[in-house]
């Protein structure tokens, strides 16, 4: 059974580097859709890992701990990209002069 093992330290560092670079790129370009693409990709990876655990046969039970670590890391990356998407979306809204429909996170951005 093939799994995309993101609990491997090298893979984890590469994914973190790509994530940080894409967040920086989206912040510089002031385009929130770059963050949305990353968020969508990490959600797809999370769904794949959950589906692999749900369909895990007895002969591959040794992969349960690896898949569990991958799911935890997936949730962390989803959280990082979600907040980065919200942050860049706030920047994009201010630059373009758009009015946000819901400004409920304004208290959060003032403290950051």
**Residue 55 falls within a domain, yes or no?**
yes
pLDDT in tens, 12-31: 999 999 999 999 999 999 89
Counted domains in the chain: 1
**Residue 108 falls within a domain, yes or no?**
no
Residues sharing a CB contact under 8 Å with residue 86, sequence separation 6 or more, in sequence order: 105
Whether the pLDDT of residue 40 is over 80: the answer is: yes
**Residue 54 falls within a domain, yes or no?**
yes
**Residue 110 falls within a domain, yes or no?**
no
Q: For residues 29 and 53, give the distance between their C-alpha atoms in angstroms, rounded to a whole number.
A: 38
Q: 102 or 96: whose pLDDT is higher?
A: 96
Q: For residues 71 and 33, give the distance between their C-alpha atoms in angstroms, rounded to a whole number.
A: 24
**Residue 103 falls within a domain, yes or no?**
no
Structure tokens at 43: 């959600």
Q: 77 or 89: whose pLDDT is higher?
A: 77
**Residue 73 falls within a domain, yes or no?**
no
Whether the pLDDT of residue 102 is over 70: the answer is: no
Q: What is the extent of the structural domain holding 31?
A: 6-63+82-97
Q: For residues 11 and 13, give the distance between their C-alpha atoms in angstroms, rounded to a whole number.
A: 5
Say what the pLDDT of residue 99 is.
65
**Residue 11 falls within a domain, yes or no?**
yes
Phi and psi angles of residue 100, each rounded to the nearest 5 degrees, phi first: -80, 145
**Residue 21 falls within a domain, yes or no?**
yes
Structure tokens at 62: 């040794």
């Amino acid at each position: 059974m093939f799994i995309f093992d993101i609990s491997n330290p090298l893979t984890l560092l590469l994914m973190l580097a790509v994530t940080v670079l894409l967040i920086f790129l989206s912040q510089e370009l002031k385009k929130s859709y770059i963050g949305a693409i990353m968020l969508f990709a990490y959600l797809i990876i999370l769904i794949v890992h959950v589906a692999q655990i749900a369909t895990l046969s007895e002969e591959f039970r040794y992969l349960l701990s690896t898949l569990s670590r991958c799911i935890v890391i997936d949730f962390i990356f989803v959280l990082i990209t979600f907040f980065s998407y919200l942050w860049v979306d706030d920047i994009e809204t201010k630059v373009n002069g758009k009015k946000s429909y819901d400004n409920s996170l304004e208290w959060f951005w003032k403290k950051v």
